[in-house]
């Protein structure tokens, strides 16, 4: 990993995403659906590009991984608030899936905090896939009422959460950017 610097291009994108959180909360609170969806799209696109550019420009760092993780959890929180304030009928209809989604974020975090005393930033292939799928699932849900895809993505998030719990259980010290639980198991077998 490169030397951590706050002012790398990927970190600036992650910081921008964090800066959009209060904007999203304000737009959701005032029921500005179109503006909320537009700003959310910008935030989600910055999430795609920060990781890509970090790898492409060789600017990956522990700091960048943590900024990205915080941006993820706060953006997802804004999406839930958006449903609650802008689309309350969808929020009520999806309540159990939203509870499951929230728990799927909290369980791996609590497990990592308990074991390592810090927020996990694994960015597994599964987590990246789930994040990419969440954007269209959220837009299809809010714009067209299509809930089946949204529900399937939440179930996938739950599976990813179990993988992150397993990763924390296998690791002996905190680590960022773990491809999958299988990469850790394979690596430990090679070390023997």
Residue 186 parent element (H or E): helix 181-191
Most confident region among 46-55, 65-74, 117-126, 154-163 by mean pLDDT: 154-163
Enumerate residues 6+ apart whose C-beta is below 8 A from 158: 100, 101, 104
Q: Last residue of a domain, which of 52, 86, 120?
A: 86
pLDDT of residue 184 exceeding 80, the answer is: yes
Average pLDDT rounded to a whole number, residues 87-110: 96
pLDDT of 2 reads 46
pLDDT of 187 reads 67
Instruction: State whether the Cα torsion 138-19-117-186 is positive or negative.
Output: positive
Question: Are 69 and 155 within one domain?
Answer: no
Question: Are 136 and 174 within one domain?
Answer: yes
Question: Are 123 and 188 within one domain?
Answer: yes
pLDDT of 19 reads 97
- For the chain, the domain total comes to 2
pLDDT of 1 reads 45
What is the pTM for the complete model shown?
0.88
Average pLDDT rounded to a whole number, residues 127-136: 93
Question: Are 3 and 78 within one domain?
Answer: yes
Question: Are 110 and 71 within one domain?
Answer: no
Question: Are 102 and 42 within one domain?
Answer: no
What is the domain range of residue 66?
A: 1-86
The pLDDT tens digits for 47-78 are 888 878 888 888 888 888 888 889 999 999 99
- Degrees (nearest 5) of the Cα angle 110, 137, 66? 35
pLDDT band, residue 5 (cuts 50/70/90) = low
């Amino acid at each position: 990993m490169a030397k951590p610097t706050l002012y790398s291009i990927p970190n600036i994108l992650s910081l921008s995403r964090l800066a959009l959180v209060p904007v999203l909360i304000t737009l959701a609170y005032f029921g500005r659906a179109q503006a909320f969806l537009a700003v959310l799209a910008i935030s989600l696109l910055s999430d795609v590009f920060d990781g890509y550019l970090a790898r492409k420009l060789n600017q990956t760092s522990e700091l960048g991984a943590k900024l990205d993780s915080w941006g993820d959890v706060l953006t997802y929180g804004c999406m839930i608030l958006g449903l609650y304030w802008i689309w309350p009928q969808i929020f009520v209809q999806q309540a159990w899936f939203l509870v499951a989604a929230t728990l799927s974020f909290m369980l791996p975090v609590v497990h990592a905090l308990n074991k390592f005393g810090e927020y996990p930033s694994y960015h597994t292939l599964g987590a990246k896939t789930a994040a990419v799928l969440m954007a269209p699932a959220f837009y299809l849900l809010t714009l067209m009422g299509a809930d089946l895809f949204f529900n399937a993505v939440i179930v996938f998030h739950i599976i990813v959460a179990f993988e992150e719990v397993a990763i924390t259980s296998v690791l002996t010290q905190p680590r960022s950017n773990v491809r999958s639980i299988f990469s850790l198991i394979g690596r430990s077998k090679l070390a023997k």
